[in-house]
Structure 1
């Protein structure tokens, strides 16, 4: 009888231990895994998700000579990124204006060119707009690394009434508590210089329009370089195509290229590249 009671107690203890093990295993599955440690010296580019970085082994960008129709913009951006890679004083940059005119492509190409001149001394870190809340953590990590970084925010635009976003960006640029460290510069692209949109009621207000425009452009003025990209004229559009076609040994006709742009309803570097891709497909080539 005593033996049976002892066995029953042992079984209960075993069952309870098994329950505890299963609970512990379930909690481990629910608990977030620690983010892998980022090697900020090993790669030419990274993508910041808001909580962690994903390494990019190869930075894809067109060769600088292929970026045509934006010569003055190219000169200023390339020179500034070169300074950053060399460890010299450099500006934060706002690249604003027409869609498809090579703003983000130019930034990638400038970083790749600077990295070739100063191997391993600069990297591009792209941040999606939805990951902006984690940029302070990114700055804290980058500030500890002996390397220069260009933090790139593509197609930035704050919604009307969003006061927090512009304030955070202003703090990063003006040396606030969460300002970017000395080895980091910001590069932002936007379709509008003011970054913050204007409502129709503001545009129709005959009293406060100038004040409102000045206030919203003040955010753009925080960037050391504010560079405009404008609509592509016909000659520039054809020159862009000509450069790509020569580089890839493709035959083309200006009249066909213009018809392509008419069907697309636009002329831009992006439309030119899409036409070049069409030419390569017709010729059975890969580019």
Structure 2
């Protein structure tokens, strides 16, 4: 009798627990946030010092615009909105300006009226080089500002030719001030397709706000109409209506109510300038020798002007060992 095989129950084999591959481990580890690195001691010190400096700057009392304007009598305008004070203005005394007596009297009277709150005109000083145009503006400001009726309330602000487009921003900054301002642009002229003159036109007369009552503009130029002659002729020759083509640009000089012309000086006027400088600075020399040397100096320069006279006096003072200190 054959035996039946025993039926043993077959249970499925247990699966071994799955193990993570090294790749999976690396990926999981990469996803875990790493603890923030502790700043080094020098970095913490730097951060603390920056915080202290920021707090001190915020707590410091801000200087008002009035305080900054009272700090000096002259300033230079920067297009980023700064009025940089000028500790000492480079200028000559009004009595040293020889050969331009009429121009001196006219500009001083115009400046005095303005500084005393009376109507006055913007002024354009044009003409020959070296005849004292910019020197007159600075000397007139000093003379009027020192008078009892003005008592330092007149400020001189120089704006550079290339910054003319920022002129409206300057007007906005000083419009509400209690001071009076001469805005001065030296050697003003326009070339080519330069359109910045439109900003100047708007401030002079054409804008809605116009020129503030406490601001007057003085400009110097070698050109009466502030434009190069070839620029005017080119516009006239290529335009449909030659007269209207240059009207807009030529009208810029018309917005200066006061025109002061400066012309080349005579030989006698040139020698008077030299003698005036020598007397003012105490330079003593033989009169005949002084005249001969001064004329020879002007001949080598090819011109006679106040600037040439001053250059000769500097040469003479250096040769004689005299310091040019104002008495």
Asked if these proteins are the same fold (TM beyond 0.5), I'd say yes
Q: Which residue of 1 aligns with 2:107?
A: 77
Residue aligning to 2:87:
57
The answer as to 2:265 corresponding to 1:236 is no
How far is the alpha carbon of 1:50 from its aligned partner?
A: 1.3
1:283 aligns with 2:313: no
Greater mean alpha carbon deviation, residues 149-158 or residues 226-235: 226-235
Residues 37 and 130 (structure 1), Cα distance of their counterparts in 2 relative to 1, 3 Å cut:
farther
SS in 1 for 2:297: helix
Contact 2:236 2:246 in 1 (8 A): no
C-alpha displacement of 1:210: 6.2
Q: Secondary structure at the match of 1:79?
A: helix
Are 1:86 and 1:121, in contact at CA under 8 Å, matched by a contact in 2? no
- For residue 38 of structure 2, the aligned residue among 10, 14, 24 is 14
Distance 2:228 2:137 in 1: 24
- CA deviation profile, 1:80-109 (whole Å, cap 9, x unmatched): 111122121111111111111100100000
Of the three residues 141, 145, 167, the one matched with 2:173 is: 141
Distance (Å, rounded) in 2 between the aligned partners of 1:149 and 1:286: 34
Q: Is the 8 A contact 2:235 2:245 kept in 1?
A: no
Q: 1:167 aligns to what?
A: 198
Partner residue in 2 for 1:245: 278
Relative to structure 1, the CA distance from residue 139 to residue 71 in structure 2 (aligned partners, 3 Å threshold; closer, same or farther) is: same
Task: Give the Cα separation in 1 of the matches to 2:109 and 2:246.
Answer: 30
Please state how far the C-alpha of 1:263 moved relative to its aligned partner: 0.7
Instruction: Report the secondary structure of 1:161's partner residue.
Output: coil
Partner of 1:5: none
Alpha-carbon spacing, 1:255–1:209, altered in 2? closer, same or farther (3 Å): farther
RMSD of the TM alignment (CA)?
2.9
Bigger Rg, structure 1 or 2 = 2
Q: Which has the higher contact order (CA 8 A, sep 6+)?
A: 1
The answer as to 2:301 corresponding to 1:264 is yes
Cα distance in 1 between the residues matched to 2:187 and 2:158: 11
Q: Corresponding residue for 1:220?
A: 253
In the TM superposition, what are the counterparts of 1:89-100 in structure 2 within 5 Å?
89-100=119-130
> Is 1:187 equivalent to 2:224 in the alignment?
no
Structure 2 CA distance for aligned equivalents of residues 36 and 128 of structure 1: 26
* d(CA) in 2 for partners of 1:135, 1:86: 24
Structure 1 residues 132 and 192, CA gap change in structure 2 (3 angstroms): same
Question: Displacement, 1:160?
Answer: 1.9
Write the deviation string for residues 34-60 of structure 1: whole angstroms up to 9, x where unpaired.
x98651123110011112111012333
How far apart, CA to CA, are the structure 1 residues paired with 2:236 and 2:208?
Answer: 37
1:84-140 per-residue CA deviation (whole Å, 9 max, x = no partner) reads 221211111111111111001000000000111021210100011122222222111
Runs (5+) with no aligned partner, structure 2: 1-31, 54-61
Instruction: Tell me the distance in 2 between the aligned counterparts of 1:46 and 1:255.
Output: 41
Q: TM-score, normalised by structure 1?
A: 0.83
Distance 1:11 1:206, change over 3 A: closer
Over residues 151-192 of structure 1, what are the superposed CA-to-partner deviations in whole Å (9 max), with x where a residue is unaligned? Answer: 0001011112223x2211110111404633110000111110
Q: TM-score, normalised by structure 2?
A: 0.74
